[in-house]
């Protein structure tokens, strides 16, 4: 959950998000070192009147500043490609959920169950209870078992939407007439918030996503109650 004046990312709640955070720190350190070197060179050139004749025309320096950026790009590209392939991996999901975006709410279908589905609308500000978050709470949460591979099929019913949960490292576009899929594993129990991340109309800001990760036993009890109510 993000908080005011936060500078970094939210705490990771999935292995993929942990990898993304590590890659962010890795790339940020490289950018910091490059910026420091460039700033030092600029200050040195501006603040001195001396000229080194070996720097004015040096093939060795040209070779270095040609090869060094290539090496740096490789150091960034290799871990980036690794994470890209990890995000596409879907290994025998325990549960498949279909998320469909509408103007302006989400509907969820648990496809492994015969009749388990619901719509999730934002709770209006005047109906919030103490401890709930404005513009982030939904009347129904997408409940999932913790430490289990979950596959989410994402589509839309009218216009473009985007199913996004930052703490899980997920952002998948919902396109009408097309079925996209993503997968994740929650590493700890908790409630994780997201919002539609594709401008979809007047109430784009009012279709939150709430994912609640619970132990498997609690999930089975929840699904049983939902099926009885249906």
Q: Which DSSP string do the residues of 135-197 spell out, in sequence order?
A: TT-BSS-EEEETTS-EEEEEEESSS-EEEEEGGGTEEEEE-BT--EEEEE--SS-EEEEEEE-
Tokens standing for 76?
């960034």
Are 104 and 82 in a shared domain?
no
**Are residues 209 and 141 located together in one domain of the fold?**
yes
108 shares a domain with 161: yes
- φ/ψ (deg, to 5) at 162: -150, 120
| Residues 182, 165: Cα–Cα separation, whole Å | 12
Number of domains in the chain: 2
Regarding whether 104 and 69 lie in a shared domain, the answer is no
Give pLDDT tens digits for 138-180.
999 999 999 999 999 999 999 999 999 999 999 999 999 999 9
Task: Say what the pLDDT of residue 50 is.
Answer: 78
pTM of the model: 0.85
Q: Are 15 and 187 contacting, i.e. CB atoms less than 8 angstroms apart? A: yes
pLDDT > 90 fraction of the chain, expressed in percent and rounded: 73
Based on the fold, state whether residues 84 and 166 are members of the same structural domain.
Answer: no
Question: What was the pLDDT predicted at 49?
Answer: 81
Estimate the crossing angle of helix 59-88 against helix 15-47, to 10 degrees.
Answer: 160
Q: Which domain holds residue 29?
A: 15-88
Assigned token pair, 17: 């998000």
Structure tokens at 222: 């929840």
Confirm whether 7 is domain-assigned.
no
Q: Are residues 208 and 152 in the same domain?
A: yes
Residue for token digits 């899929």?
A: 181
**pLDDT given for residue 7 in this prediction:** 83
83 and 104 fall within a common domain = no
On whether both 142 and 210 belong to a single domain, the answer is yes
Q: Check residue 161 and give its pLDDT.
A: 95
Categorise residue 29: left if φ over 0, alpha if ψ from -120 to 50, beta otherwise: alpha
The ranges of the chain with pLDDT < 50 are: none
Task: Say whether both 61 and 110 belong to one domain.
Answer: no
């Amino acid at each position: 959950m993000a908080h005011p004046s936060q500078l970094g990312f939210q705490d990771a709640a999935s292995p993929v998000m942990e990898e993304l955070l590590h890659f962010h720190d890795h790339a940020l350190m490289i950018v910091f070192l490059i910026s420091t070197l460039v700033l030092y060179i600029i200050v040195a050139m501006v603040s001195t009147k001396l000229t080194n004749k070996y720097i004015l025309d040096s093939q060795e320096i040209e070779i270095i500043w040609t090869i060094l950026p290539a090496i740096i790009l490789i150091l960034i590209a290799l871990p980036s490609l690794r994470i890209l392939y990890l995000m596409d991996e879907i290994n025998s999901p325990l549960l498949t959920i279909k998320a469909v975006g509408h103007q302006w709410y989400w509907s969820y279908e648990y496809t492994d169950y015969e009749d388990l589905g619901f719509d999730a609308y934002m709770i209006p500000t005047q109906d919030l209870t103490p401890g709930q978050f404005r513009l982030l709470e939904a009347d129904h949460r997408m409940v999932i078992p913790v430490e289990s591979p979950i596959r989410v099929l994402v589509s839309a019913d009218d216009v473009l939407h985007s199913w996004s949960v930052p703490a899980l490292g997920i952002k998948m576009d919902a396109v009408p007439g097309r079925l996209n899929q993503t997968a994740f594993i929650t590493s700890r129990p908790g409630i994780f918030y997201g919002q539609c991340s594709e401008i979809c109309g007047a109430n784009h800001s009012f279709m939150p996503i709430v994912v609640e990760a619970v132990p498997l036993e609690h999930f089975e009890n929840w699904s049983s109650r939902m099926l009885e109510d249906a």
